[in-house]
């Protein structure tokens, strides 16, 4: 099922950008897990729009209403369903898009697949808004993982040509713009401001780290940690690539440079380096798991673009109205954390039975 | 199940490097499909070892024996199972590895996961040898896709610091070293020879293209073409990253550069560029689908490496005996084609029911 | 996932008897399907309580609110989610049951499985109330199947010792008490009234027929029509057995009696009898598919029963207060139709790709 | 996938009656499980043909060859694949059946589904022969379950009109004809002999009991123990019905008769009766799990039958040559045990993660 993910834990995402509600169902959570709603709210706020200059001003409370699966905020073993009502919708903004598919969006491919029946308003089920229920599910998993000593945190690794600098080894959740180097963060925000000014947009890379993992998590072949994480991360709109450890840079290396030598310390085996990004053969080594996801620039830009008028089947110019995030990377940071948390916790549940 | 992949079509890979046999079962193939065995053999030969200087001299016929699912080489609707006997095995080569896990291999993570019960000989179920049954399954899918006008072909995009050059638009299956530019191919082989001489290894990138796809293939969210392809490609040993279209390069671009404008030609909508790599919202645009997979350098190198002696729990030096591919990228080319074929054909079967 | 069912079409049921809402998500419906809401309401009313003397007086509007997946009542390809708010709940009725598990209910097994975290109010996720969302999903499938000429209709085959009589060959949806013979229906209702008077309950059998099926639906082995239908029907509370065609009676027969001979009529092959119940080898013959499900007597009875006080771990007497259906079989009739519709439509969607 | 079963443990059955081999792959077995091959052989012999007057004289060694997943007969965590070569095949026996589908068999429905491409020889993938690999998988699970104190044993409950008598509470694996009452067993064999003499066949019922189960096994709704067991049992050819505990008889009872009252003994809660058959709400109570499966009479009978000649599309008489089991019930006893073992062990593996 394309809107579901997971092996032991299964999350199903439903809703469209402008449907009465969006939401998620999480099956397979153990009974007896307390959910800290206040903390979940804080997590969801990191993804919410309207927080900064680079973010769409559409204001959404994004407060989840839990319909099932909880008794006094503790899981009871039944599926957990939570919804968010869509209130601040402006469908008339989207009338033009019905006949003029936006370049770089799923408008045209949705038209191909659903033969005109797709919900074109706001991108329908393809909208970035659907990452809100993903973050509900992921926010719950993050709370559970933390109790197991597993921490997941992401940063903006780059935006446009600007790279973050410094050692990345702890959560940046308290930063409004999550980079290690505030100076580089400033420069990134400048790139976003420049793009916005020119009615354009920029892309970037999010880097995610998972610490505290037990060794032996994950499975051979098609259920390796990479397959599991890639399988959910590519469900986040605008992701065009993923790499683990040294990733694409590994392709340029010698084996003698890339192999992580083993050593013994305090009675435990440790790797002296972590080019592998914490995974060998799909299975965790106990070193930090590291991956990066590449986000393309937001396709919704104010600049006029060439598209096709579907009724007349001839080229047409599209000028997207309304305001859109000139860069979705900052808001994607908690989405990546959420996706990683779901994948990792699912692997943990699968692991307990080996 | 970690050794199975697919939604409508399901491939299960079994076997270890030194078990009596390796093999695959393919469920969900329509009845009435004729398999060209001679052609399948040719495809498997492209993956087989012992073909070149950069490849391990272990000689394996790799001729599949079909046990079920065929009547006179035509599918009968029952699961298709084929096996390859493991004959040329030399288990004594691996005795040392039982206590000295090879850096960069799954030896240690397998030990963690399977608590000493793993089949350590030759990497067991983690061995690159398991790509042979993957190629049986993929080779069958390639034949079926071709009849639908869908072609899948991959090339060596880079090895170490050497990039392929020229326009990549057709299969290079007839080339012993599949690059567009023979000159660049020569330089790549030189890099491999250099590494081999120093008892070292090199990595590289394989690029794959799928042409002739219908528009509308794939699904939203977690069953997008990227999720589907990544889900199988990360099942190939040594893959550390995957990117679609412009991939990581897209993260540096502006939206106005990256969006593919639409035009009309011959009554059909076409994109003027293909930065998207043929996918938007997880669904095919009908432009060629393009992806690249990064392979790390072969972890088995002759150079002495530091590892740990598991019985004594102290550092030890490992010198891997025997010969190993100094670069697995050339042999990975048909594996990537096979993986892509399985993912694409599965998406085709899923598509027919929308 | 235990609250999900289906291969191509996937229904997920969520909610507890007394949670804020109950509901369902249906993934895999084709885009472009119009849902007749008025008709769906009529179908749901057949299951709703409070319609008759033998039914609990808890009144629930059971009007579904669709949150996603529809645009103007037409499916758009995204998951369809509908919920029913739980309004008329009386949780204090259930306080005693927290420590005194009801015999014949899942109270104690839920306690075992969820270690005290289960939602004990009203049976939680195990409640018969969860068949309401099943009927939403099934009601949608029934509408789609009807357009394909496939009709599904069930009847009360027996209650206690009273059997229905007469030829069952059309829908009895317009009957308040769906038996072919009104006279036998009267006698069944008398049995229910007798049980009610004695604060007891009775069981019965529902028979279901599917007509208009194409030949060739279903799959070998574990996805036969029997596996598919049993896999969902046992999800309806109180079902203790299922049989197809002659079912258990076949075990007493000779092959020469039980085999359905073939004949040719109007250029088509027909079976002269239908002992097989329309299925051979898990695959439809095109004869009507017939199955029966046995329902145990409602476990909630007013009569005092022996149970155990879990806090004191000693025997205790339980007298269940409130009114409960003395026989759930009449209300189970649309539930069986719904379950069969989901299973059959899922098989149809799977079939289209053979 | 229709030839696969299981959630955490997954068995895939491949092969046709007359293909080079039949076999099974079992994924998800923990590493470190020792398989007692000699004992597995004994188990398989109970299913093997040629043991008695009522069984087809086709002699098959049915000795499995393990191709993968084991190191010195201990599981290594990789998929376990075993095959049985088909040697004693006589395809010419089946030529006539290509055009004259056997009544009561899947010949015609396979033709519908696979459009003439099915392997018609010996029933192809629909053959009862495919229960041999099912018994390999089940035989392995039985060994593992036994180490957990879980025993599974089945008996012939009835054949034709003859019922077994006496208390069924232990394995009858050492009996050639597994009934509690030898006298009733004699009478059953007489019924089989009578049928054989008249070139006819008879059906019967197999009853299965699972003891030593922990409380809390199984899941709500669609993964209840009933759904799990029915989902595999209907994969055994000729099964037409399944019931748990009192089953269909429960439909005739009052709640006060059918509910199992609770009592306390030795600090544990026990049910005073076991009408539920050890399952409430899909979850085990810790009382013995009891179910019965109804088998139709073997459809292959020597008596002339009316069928249709598919080439001429007119009625034809079929006289099935060769010898066939006049009653498959005795050989079905270990098959039911195997199926139950797979379902129960899979539920155990799922349970460990709640």
Q: Closest approach of chain B CAs to the CA of C352, in angstroms?
A: 6
Contact across the interface for D16 and B68, Cβ inside 8 Å: yes
Cα of C85 to nearest chain A Cα, Å = 9
Q: What is the mean pLDDT of residues B29-47?
A: 97
Q: What is the pLDDT of residues A303-332, one digit of tens each?
A: 999 999 999 999 999 999 877 899 999 999
Q: At B214, give phi and psi (nearest 5°).
A: -70, 155
How many pairs of residues across B and D have Cβ atoms under 8 Å apart? 156
The CA distance from C72 to the nearest CA of chain D, in Å, is: 31
**Quick one: pLDDT at residue D56?**
61
Q: Higher-confidence residue: B57 or B75?
A: B75
Whether chain B has a CB inside 8 Å of the CB on A57: the answer is no
CB contacts of C14 in chain A (<8 Å) are: 25, 67-69, 78-81
pLDDT(D25) > 90? yes
What pLDDT is stored for residue B51 in this prediction?
63
For the stretch B243-297, pLDDT in tens is 999 999 999 999 999 999 999 988 899 999 999 999 999 999 999 999 999 999 9
B156 phi-psi bin (left φ>0, alpha ψ -120 to 50, beta other) = beta
pLDDT of D108 over the 60 cut: yes
The answer to whether A25 contacts chain C (CB < 8 Å) is: yes
Q: Which of A30, D232, B39, A228 is nearest to C222 (CA)?
A: D232
CB–CB contacts below 8 A, A to C: 155
pLDDT value, residue C223: 97
Question: Chain C within 8 Å of B8 (Cβ-Cβ)?
Answer: yes
- Between chains, do C117 and A74 touch, taking CB under 8 Å as contact? yes
pLDDT digits (tens, 9 = 90+) for A249-290: 999 999 999 999 999 988 899 999 999 999 999 999 999 999
Torsion, Cα B248 B249 B251 B255, to 10 degrees, reads -140
Look at B31 and D115 and tell me if their CB atoms are within 8 Å: yes
Instruction: For chain B, list the contacting chains (3+ Cβ pairs, <8 Å).
Output: A, C, D
Give the long-range contacts of residues A321-325, CB within 8 A, separation 24 or more: A321/A93, A321/A96, A322/A56, A322/A90, A322/A93, A323/A56, A323/A57, A324/A56, A324/A201, A324/A298, A324/A300, A325/A49, A325/A54, A325/A55, A325/A56, A325/A201, A325/A298, A325/A300
Set of chain D residues whose Cβ sits within 8 Å of the Cβ of C300: 255
Chain A residues with beta carbon closer than 8 angstroms to that of B1: 222-223
pLDDT at D211 > cutoff 80: yes
What single DSSP character describes residue A341?
A: H
Contact check, Cβ <8 Å, C352/B349: no
Does the CB of B67 have a partner CB in chain D at under 8 Å? yes
Q: Which two tokens stand for residue C344?
A: 């059959």
Selection from D13, D12, D22, D14 nearest residue D89 by Cα:
D22
Q: Is the pLDDT of residue B54 over 70?
A: no
DSSP letter for each residue of D121-181: GGGGGGSGGGHHHHHHHHHHHHHHHHHTT-EEEEEEEEETTEEP-S---S--TT-SS--S-
pLDDT digits (tens, 9 = 90+) for D166-192: 999 999 999 999 999 999 999 999 999
Residues of C in contact with A21 (CB under 8 A): 67-68, 81
Subunit contact B78:C220, Cβ cutoff 8 A: yes
First to last CA, chain C: 26
pLDDT in tens, chain C (354 residues): 799 999 999 999 999 999 999 999 999 999 999 999 999 999 999 998 866 666 665 555 689 999 999 999 999 999 999 999 998 665 666 778 889 999 999 999 999 999 999 999 989 999 999 999 999 999 999 999 999 999 999 999 999 999 999 999 999 999 999 999 999 999 999 999 999 999 999 999 999 999 999 999 999 999 999 999 999 999 999 999 999 999 999 999 999 999 999 999 888 999 999 999 999 999 999 999 999 999 999 999 999 999 999 999 999 999 998 778 999 999 999 999 999 999 999 999 998 654
Report pLDDT for C58: 56
The 10s digit of each residue's pLDDT in D147-165 is 999 999 999 999 999 999 9
Q: Is D266 on the interface with C (CB under 8 A)?
A: no
Selected residue of C29, C65, C76 to mutate for chain A interface (largest A Cβ count, 10 A): C76
Dihedral pair phi/psi, residue D353, rounded to 5°? -105, 0
Distance CA C93, CA B320 (A): 72
D58 pLDDT higher than 60: no
CA angle A218, A219, A223 (to 5 degrees): 95
Taking the C-alpha atoms of A129, A130, A136 and A142 in order, what is their torsion angle to the nearest 10 degrees? -100
Hey, which residues 235-264 in chain C have their CB within 8 Å of chain D? Answer: 235, 237, 239-248, 250-264
CB contact under 8 A, A353 and D352: yes
Residue D94: per-residue pLDDT: 72
* CA–CA dist C235, C134 (Å, integer): 10
Yes or no: say if D40 and D183 are a contact pair by the CB < 8 Å rule.
no
| Of B68, B66, B50, nearest in space to B58 by CA | B50
State mean pLDDT over B109-125.
94
How much is the average pLDDT of A4-12?
97
Q: Which of C1, C65, C115 sits opposite A27 (nearest CB)?
A: C1
C28 CB neighbours in chain A (<8 A) are 1
Q: Is residue A333 within 8 Å of A156, Cβ to Cβ?
A: yes
Which of D1, D256, D257, D342 best tests the C interface by mutation, with the highest count of C CBs <10 A?
D256
Question: Closest approach of chain D CAs to the CA of C110, in angstroms?
Answer: 7
**Yes or no, beta carbons of B31 and C354 under 8 Å apart:** yes
Contact C282 D106 (CB under 8 A): yes
- Are residues D180 and D164 in contact, defined by beta-carbon separation less than 8 angstroms? yes
Q: Which residues of C touch B220 (CB under 8 A)?
A: 77-78
> A181-231 pLDDT, tens per residue?
999 999 999 999 999 999 999 999 999 999 999 999 999 999 999 999 999
* The pLDDT of residue D52 is above 70: no
Q: Which residue of D has its CA nearest to C248?
A: D294
The interface pTM score, or ipTM, of the predicted complex is 0.97
CB contact residues (below 8 A), chain C span 106-125, against chain A:
110, 113-119, 124-125
Q: Which of D306, D335, D305 is closest to D127 using CA atoms?
A: D335
Helix (H, G, I), strand (E, B) or coil at D115: coil
pTM: 0.97
Q: Does D7 touch chain B (CB under 8 A)?
A: no
> D294: left (phi > 0), else alpha (psi -120 to 50), else beta?
beta
Determine, for residues B354 and C220 on separate chains, whether the beta-carbon distance falls below 8 Å.
no
pLDDT at position A93 is 67
Q: Are C279 and C285 spatial neighbours (Cβ–Cβ below 8 Å)? A: yes
D229-267 tens-digit pLDDT: 999 999 999 999 999 999 999 999 999 999 999 999 888
Residue D67: how many CB atoms within 10 A of its CB?
26
Contact C259 D3 (CB under 8 A): no
DSSP state of D93: G
**Does the beta carbon of B349 lie under 8 angstroms from any beta carbon of chain C?**
yes
Residue A95 has pLDDT above 80, yes or no: no
Q: Which chains does chain A touch, 3 or more C-beta pairs < 8 A?
A: B, C, D
Judged by average pLDDT, the poorest of A240-254, C85-99, D45-59 is D45-59
Res. D130: pLDDT tops 50: yes
Write out pLDDT tens, residues A108-145: 999 999 999 999 998 999 999 999 999 999 999 999 99
CA distance B260 to B256: 9
Judge whether D200 and C256 are in contact, CB under 8 Å: yes
pLDDT at D1 over 70: yes
Asked if residue D92 lies in contact with residue D30, where contact means CB atoms within 8 angstroms, the answer is no
Q: Would the CB atoms of A282 and B106 count as touching at under 8 Å?
A: yes
Which residues are bridge partners to B309 per DSSP?
B314
Instruction: Please indicate if any CB of chain A lies within 8 Å of the CB of B128.
Output: no
Indicate yes or no: CB of C76 within 8 angstroms of CB of A1.
Answer: no
Distance between D74 CA and the closest CA of chain B, angstroms? 8
* pLDDT tens figures, A16-63: 999 999 999 999 999 999 999 999 999 999 998 866 666 665 555 689
Helices H, strands E: what count in chain D? 7, 18
Which structure tokens are listed for D319? Answer: 């006289």
What does the pLDDT read at residue B342? 98
**C1 and chain A in contact, CB less than 8 A:** yes
Output the average pLDDT for chain B: 94
pLDDT at position D90, please? 55
Contact A17, A121 (CB under 8 A): yes
Report, as an integer, the average pLDDT of B111-128: 94
**Interface test with chain B among D24, D27, D64, D77, by most B beta carbons within 10 Å:** D77
The pLDDT of residue C51 is 63
Q: How many CA atoms lie within 13 A of A58 on its CB side?
A: 21
Full DSSP string of D257-325: HHS--EEEETTEEEES--TTTTEETTEE-SSPEEEEEEEPPPS--SS-EEEEETTTTEEEEE---S---
CA distance A274 to A287: 7
Q: What is the CA radius of gyration of chain D?
A: 21
A-B Cβ pairs (cutoff 8 Å, strict): 369
Domains by residue range for chain D, with CATH: 4-351 (3.60.150.10)
Verify whether the Cβ–Cβ distance B117 to D3 is below 8 Å: no
Give the residue from chain A lying closest to C66, CA to CA. Answer: A20
Greatest pairwise CA separation for chain D in angstroms: 72
Write the CB contacts of D297 (distance below 8 Å, at least 6 apart in sequence): C250, C253, C254, C255, C257, C258, D195, D200, D201, D202, D203, D327
Using a CB-CB distance cutoff of 8 angstroms, which residues of chain D are in contact with residue C265? none
The whole-number pLDDT of residue D354 equals: 46
The percentage of residues in chain D with a pLDDT greater than 90, rounded to a whole number, is 88
Q: What is the pLDDT of residue D149?
A: 97
- Determine contact, residues D53/D193, Cβ cutoff 8 Å: yes
The pLDDT value recorded for residue B354 is 46
For B127, nearest residue in chain D (alpha carbons): D78
Nearby residues of A152 by Cβ (< 8 Å), 6 or more positions away: A142, A145, A208, A209, A210, A337, A340, A341, A344
In whole angstroms, what is the distance from residue A222 CA to residue B4 CA? 7
Set of chain C residues whose Cβ sits within 8 Å of the Cβ of B349? 353
Q: Which of B8, B349, B354 sits opposite C30 (nearest CB)?
A: B354
Contacts D12 to B, Cβ<8 Å: 12, 25, 27, 79
B335 interfaces chain A, CB cutoff of 8 Å: no
């Amino acid at each position: 099922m394309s809107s579901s993910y997971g092996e032991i834990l299964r999350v199903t995402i439903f809703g469209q950008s402008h449907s009465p509600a969006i939401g998620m169902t999480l099956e397979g959570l153990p009974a007896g897990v307390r959910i800290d709603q206040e903390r979940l709210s804080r997590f969801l706020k990191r993804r919410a729009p309207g927080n900064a200059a680079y973010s769409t001003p559409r204001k959404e409370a994004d407060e989840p209403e839990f319909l099932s699966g909880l008794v006094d905020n503790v899981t009871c073993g039944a599926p957990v369903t939570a919804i968010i009502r869509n209130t601040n919708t402006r469908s008339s903004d989207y009338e033009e898009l019905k006949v003029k598919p936006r370049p770089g969006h799923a408008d045209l491919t949705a038209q191909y697949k659903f033969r005109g029946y797709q919900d074109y308003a706001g991108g329908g089920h393809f909208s970035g808004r659907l990452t809100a229920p993903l973050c509900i599910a992921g926010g719950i998993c993050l709370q559970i993982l933390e109790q197991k000593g597993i921490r997941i945190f992401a940063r903006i690794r780059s935006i446009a040509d600007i790279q973050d600098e410094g050692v990345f080894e702890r959560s940046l959740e308290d930063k409004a713009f999550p980079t290690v180097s505030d100076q580089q963060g400033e420069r990134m925000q400048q790139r976003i401001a420049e793009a916005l000014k020119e009615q354009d947009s920029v892309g970037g890379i999010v880097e995610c780290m998972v610490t505290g993992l037990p060794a032996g998590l994950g499975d051979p072949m098609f259920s390796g940690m990479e397959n599991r994480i890639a399988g959910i991360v590519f469900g986040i709109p605008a992701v065009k690539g993923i790499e683990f450890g040294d990733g694409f840079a590994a392709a340029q290396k010698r084996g003698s440079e890339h192999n992580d030598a083993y050593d013994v310390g305090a009675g435990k085996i440790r790797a002296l380096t972590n080019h592998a990004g914490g995974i060998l053969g799909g299975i965790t080594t106990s070193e930090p798991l590291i991956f990066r996801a590449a986000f393309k620039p937001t396709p919704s830009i104010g600049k006029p673009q060439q598209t096709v008028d579907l009724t007349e089947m001839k080229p047409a110019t599209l000028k997207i109205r309304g305001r859109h995030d000139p860069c979705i990377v900052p808001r994607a940071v908690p989405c990546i954390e959420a996706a990683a948390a779901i994948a990792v916790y699912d692997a943990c549940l699968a692991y307990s039975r080996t």
